[in-house]
Amino acid sequence: MQIKGHVVSKVIAGSIGEELEIEPGDRLISIDGTEIEDIFDYQFMIQDSYIELLCEKPDGEQWLLEVEKDFDEDLGLEFENGLMDEYRHCCNKCVFCFIDQMPPGMRKTLYFKDDDSRLSFLQGNYVTLTNMSDHDIDRICRYRLSPINISFHAMNPELRCRMLNNRFAGEALKKVDRLMEADIHMNGQIVLCKGLNDGRELEYSIRELIKYIPNLESVSVVPVGLTKYREGLYPLEPFDSGEAAAVIDLIEKFQRECYSEYGIHFVHASDEWYILAGREMPDAERYDGYLQLENGVGMLRLLLDEFEEAMESRAKEDMSIDDNENRTPRGDVSIATGKLAYPYILRMAQQMMEAWPELKVMVYPITNFFFGEKITVSGLITGQDLLAQLQDKPLGKRLLLPENILRSGEDVFLDDYRLSELEKALQVPINIVKSSGNDFVNAVLASVLE
C-alpha cells in the first residue's frame, strides 16, 4: 500500500509550523482536502490567508489544523524530498547525451538522466518537453511558472526525433505553442552536433524560434561535449576553428536582425565558440543581461569586466593608503583551471603581477585525462587529474580553485576525491574561489597579504 503524504524534515524556529506543533517526521497529507502532488501544489495551496492542513504523526494519529495567516506567508516547513515527488527520468536516447559518455564506476547519482520540468524552475535545468503530459502543461499555466528552460536542439520535427531517438520529440514542440499562448516565459538551448543540426538546420531552427519572441527570451548555442567514452555511440566529431567561425557568423547575423526588430540579441554563442575560432568575446551589451550564464554564454566577458572594475577599485584603494602601511602584495600563489579559461585567467594573473611586481601568480592549465582531452571546462576537472598534474609543481602559499570544480555545497570532486585529500597530498592550503572577477582579485591578494 502506498504511503500518502510528505515527510517533514525541518520546522523553522518561530514559524507557523512550530506554533502548530508540527515536528520533523510528521506527514503532511493534504491542504484544504486536496492531496499534494509536489512542491508546486504545496506552494500554491499555502498562499491563502485561511487553510486547513491534515497532518499525520508517526504513531498514525491525524491532526486537522486550521491556519489563519497573512496571504503568501510561509508555514516554515521543509520536506525530506525538496521536490516532494520522485524525480522524472529522461525517456530520450539523445545522440549527444553526456551521461552516456561517462566512465564506469562512478557514483550512481551521476548516471541519472533527469528530464523534469519542475527542476527547470527550481534549479534551472533544461527539459526536452517529451516527458511532459497535458496535465504538466496545465499546471505550469495555472501556477504561472516562469521561466521554463527548454532544450530545442532542432526545430525540424523529423530531425529532432532522430537526434533525441524519440518518435514523439517532434510532436513535443507543439507544447511550446501552449506555453506561448499562456504567456509563459522561456529560455532555450541548442546543443550543436556537426553534420546534424548545424548549417542550414541551425539557420532554420533559429528562424523558427524567433517567432516565439518575446516569450522566448534567449537561445544559447553550445557545441556538443565529447568524452573519450563513446564506444558504440553515434559517431560525432568536434568542430574545428573554421567551423566555429561559421557558427559565430551565422549567430551574429541573427543578432543584428533581432536587435533591429526586437531590441534584443536573442540568440547567443557560448564562449567555447569564440575561443575555438580565436576571436575576442563580444562586449557585455551583446549578452542582454547574461540570461544564459549557466550555459557558458558570457561567463568570460563578465569575468573580465568584473576583474577590470576590481583592479581599478583596488588601485584607488592603494592610493588612499598611508605610505607607512605595508600593504604591498608579495609572495607566490597558484591557480589551476581548465584549458578553456586558461588564456583568460593567465591574462588576469599577468595584469596583477604588473600592478604588484612582488606578487607571483602561477596559472596551471589542467588537461582532462579522466573524461578525455576534448573536455576543457573547469567544471569537469577531477581530483585525480589535479593531483597528477600539480604534485611536482611549485604552488606557493596557497592553491586557488574555481568553485564549479566541486559538487554544489560539497567538498567532493566528480571522481569522489575529497578536497581535504587533495590538500593533504599536495601539502598546500586550498581556497575555493567564486566565479566573479572581484572574488578572483580578492582571493589572490588575500593569499599573499595574510
pLDDT in tens, 379-425: 999 999 999 999 999 999 999 999 999 977 789 999 999 999 999 99
Residue 172 shares a structural domain with residue 143: yes
- Amino acid in position 277: A
- Does residue 132 lie in a domain region? yes
Beta bridge partners of 359: 331
CATH number, position 402: 3.40.50
Q: CB–CB of 380/387 below 8 Å?
A: no
Long-range CB contacts (< 8 A, 24+ apart) of 197-205?
A: 197/153, 197/154, 197/156, 197/159, 197/163, 198/243, 198/247, 201/154, 201/156, 201/159, 202/247, 202/250, 203/250, 204/155, 204/156, 205/152, 205/153, 205/154, 205/155, 205/156
Kindly list the strands in the beta sheet with 216-223, ordered across the sheet, starting from the edge strand earlier in the chain.
Answer: 148-151, 186-192, 216-223, 267-269
Other CB atoms within 10 A of residue 289 CB: 12
- Does residue 85 lie in a domain region? no
Q: Which three cell numbers stand for residue 239?
A: 568542430
CB-based burial, 297-318: b 16+ in 10 Å, e otherwise: bbbbbbbbebbeebbeebeeee
Gap between the Cα atoms of 14 and 345, Å rounded: 46
Supply the pLDDT for residue 290. Answer: 96
Supply the pLDDT for residue 101. Answer: 92
Q: Which of 295, 329, 363 is the last residue of a domain?
A: 295
- Does residue 245 lie in a domain region? yes
pLDDT in tens, 270-282: 999 999 999 999 9
Distances from the Cα of 325 to the Cα of 163, 441, 443, 448, angstroms = 63, 20, 20, 15
Q: Which of 29, 44, 79 is the last residue of a domain?
A: 79
CATH number, position 56: 2.30.42.10
Supply the pLDDT for residue 358. Answer: 92
Q: CB–CB of 55/65 below 8 Å?
A: yes
Domain range enclosing 201: 99-295
Supply the pLDDT for residue 1. Answer: 37
Q: Which three cell numbers stand for residue 26?
A: 510528521
Supply the pLDDT for residue 17. Answer: 94
- Does residue 153 lie in a domain region? yes
Residue 153 shares a structural domain with residue 36: no
pLDDT in tens, 71-80: 888 999 998 8
Q: Rounded to two decimals, what is the model's pTM?
A: 0.85
pLDDT in tens, 182-222: 999 999 999 999 999 999 999 999 999 999 999 999 999 99
Supply the pLDDT for residue 383. Answer: 95
Least confident of 112-121, 151-160, 285-294, 403-412: 112-121
- Does residue 84 lie in a domain region? no
Residue 219 shares a structural domain with residue 145: yes
- Reported as a pLDDT band with limits 50, 70 and 90, residue 114 is confident
How confident is the model over 90-113, as a mean pLDDT? 84
Residue 288 shares a structural domain with residue 306: no
Supply the pLDDT for residue 29. Answer: 92
Q: Could you check whether the bond before residue 147 is cis, i.e. omega within 30 degrees of 0?
A: yes
Supply the pLDDT for residue 171. Answer: 95
Q: Which of 277, 295, 313 is the last residue of a domain?
A: 295
Supply the pLDDT for residue 252. Answer: 98
Supply the pLDDT for residue 2. Answer: 47
Residue 211 shares a structural domain with residue 68: no
More reliable by pLDDT, 329 or 232: 232
Residue 246 shares a structural domain with residue 279: yes
- Does residue 237 lie in a domain region? yes
143 has pLDDT over 90: no
88 has pLDDT over 50: yes
* CA 247 to chain CA centroid, nearest Å: 23
Supply the pLDDT for residue 324. Answer: 47
List the Cα angle 358/359/363 in 5-degree steps. Answer: 145
The structural domain count of the chain equals 3
Mean pLDDT of the chain: 90
68 has pLDDT over 70: yes
CATH number, position 237: 3.80.30
